[in-house]
A and B are shown apart, each in its own frame.
Chain A
Amino acid sequence: MDAILEILGGLHPEIDFNTCNTLIDDRIIDSFDIVTIVSEISDEFDITIPVEEIVPKNFNSAKALYAMVERLIEE
């Protein structure tokens, strides 16, 4: 989880990613951020994020991202 918070914090240092769960709905992250997040998470956890997973509900919060990563690691 810390690794994900660090990646997100690097993009938007002013946002509290522990609590924010409207990253997409409130347009906090944009398409450029998504590209960065996907590539950094893939590197960090050595996983491939399939395109079906790149949907709003997986990117709305750090928690949702973390859940997706855990799921992908298990598979």
Chain B
Amino acid sequence: MQRNVLEYLEHTVHIVPKKVAYANEETGFTFEEVYHRSRAIGTYLSEQGHSKEPIVVFMGKHPRTIVTFYGVIYSGNYYVPIDEEMPRHRIELIFKSLNPKAVICDEETGKLLETFPFEGAVYSYEEMIKTPVKEEVITSIRDKQIDTDPIYIVFTSGSTGIPKGVVACHRSVIDYIESLSEVLQFNENTVFGNQTPLYVDACLKELYPTLKFGATAYLVPKNLFMFPLQLVEFLNEHKINTVCWVVSALTMISAFGALQKEIPKYLHTIAFGSEVFPIKQFNLWRNALPHARFVNLYGPTECTGMSCYFEVNREFALDEMIPIGRPFKNTEIILLDENKRITEPGQTGEICIRGTSLTLGYYKNFEKTNEVFVQNPLNDAYPELIYCTGDLGKYNERGELVFVSRKDNQIKHMGHRIELGEIEIVANMLEEMKSACCIFDNDKKKIVLYYVGDITTAQVATYLKEKLPRYMIPNVIEALGEMPLTSNGKINRVLLKEKYKSRMEK
């Protein structure tokens, strides 16, 4: 039985050692290189005395970053990816939450790290890969590892303003990769075009199946997602046949009419998720690639990645929503009502997930973990956890699961999960800020911040850019004379939404 994700690599390196595993527009690493370098890093970190602890990987988006992830796993530790694009404040919060003993940098981020008040060890990728591999060190670490040991921590938005670190183990990642690979039919001929950042769980879809099958994954330069024709040219140049992208990356290509100019002709598998795919845009894709498979994916970071899938097999009307379908193998979806009972057929309930793909919970945060990883209310006989997503769903008349909405103030924007409350908390940290409220324009996909305070919108924008990740920055910022309140003194979000709507119509 497979216990460790690295067994994928150890199997594949003997079959296709010289094949390129991970590449970007400039360089590529073969499986052999990935294997030797990650074991060198594993040896190095172990000899520095690190064991079973979070190690921060502070590197840009590059094949060497992926090698470093595997190096950290070889050393018996778990990786925590952070990125130079993250705002300072967020990196500081992550450091505070982890208190890491070591950070791994590349040349650029090494200089950046010096500006942080971090006192632990700093290792350079270039130095570490020069370490001679010690087989006995690697083997002895592996012998002690079990499949419920953590592999990584990724951070998600938290409504209290502090990001939460989701801890995932070998077992849940293996379970996820096996199920996902079966549904999307990856194989040794798969050529991935990765879009998602390496600091979110979404990149698991390319990283581990590449190892499992001896496939190849290209990291698509981020800049290309602004320029649709260049993006399609990149896909064709590298014969990319499989993409797992956020919807907004796909619609950017179709909405600008790029598919009429140039077709990404090698694409045969298009997985998407995290957002609603507008049917008009979806049809443009389907007409351009009538023989490709289109698969909608759904799932939370807390269950390792994706939990449900729906292969689009029929026409949809413009006002319809593509279902999220059915759970992966070895995963069960339970819809629960407010009293934690199974909903009646056709009724809306909270999507709760049962299965090996449940992650271990939030790092050093038992309180938040226990709120959402709870005892299965349908089982009073023995301990069994389910994860409550906070998403509402229902079954349609065909028996397919459909996403309805969120229970709370969480939104999906550009494929990222965002708590509007986190933006408000950060805005309220400004001294001049009296009151701040965020709403989300679901039609135009814009985050709108209303505030009251003796400060200009430009100042608010500058401040928020220092504190929040790019995708959380409000798209519209507007000052108000006073904040509308409800009768019991809370900010009247409904009124703000109406106000915004009427302004848009003008």
Contact = CB atoms under 8 A, between A and B. Distances in A.
B258 A51 contact: yes
B313 to A, nearest CB: 29
Contact of A31 (B248, B260, B457, B462): B248
Given A13-B458, A14-B462, A54 B227 contact: yes
Contact of A12 (B230, B249, B252, B461): B461
B225 interface: yes
Given A13-B457, A31-B252, A51-B258, A24 B477 contact: no
Bin the interface of chain B by size.
20 to 34
A6 B412 CA distance: 27
A52 B227 contact: no
Interface in A20-74: 24, 29-32, 34-36, 38, 49-52, 54-56, 59
Given A35-B252, A55-B227, A30 B475 contact: no
Nearest to B465: A14
A29 B225 CA distance: 12
Contacts of A12: 461
Contact of A13 (B227, B252, B461): B461
Contact of B229 (A32, A49, A52): A52
Contacts of A51: 228-229, 256-258, 260-261
A55 B261 CA distance: 14
A1 interface: no
Contacts of B470: 30
B426 to A, nearest CB: 16
B227 A32 contact: no
Nearest to B476: A10
Interface string B459-478: 10110010000100001110
A49 B229 CA distance: 13
A3 interface: no
A31 B226 contact: yes
A3 to B, nearest CB: 17
B284 to A, nearest CB: 12
Nearest to B446: A36
B255 A36 contact: no
A19 to B, nearest CB: 15
A54 B229 contact: yes
Given A34-B226, A55-B227, 15 more contacts: A14-B459, A31-B248, A31-B252, A32-B248, A38-B256, A50-B257, A51-B256, A51-B257, A51-B261, A54-B227, A54-B228, A54-B229, A55-B230, A56-B226, A59-B226
19 contacts: A12-B461, A13-B461, A14-B461, A31-B225, A32-B414, A34-B227, A35-B255, A36-B475, A50-B257, A51-B228, A51-B229, A51-B261, A54-B226, A54-B227, A54-B228, A55-B229, A55-B230, A56-B226, A59-B226
Interface of A: 10-14, 24, 29-32, 34-36, 38, 49-52, 54-56, 59
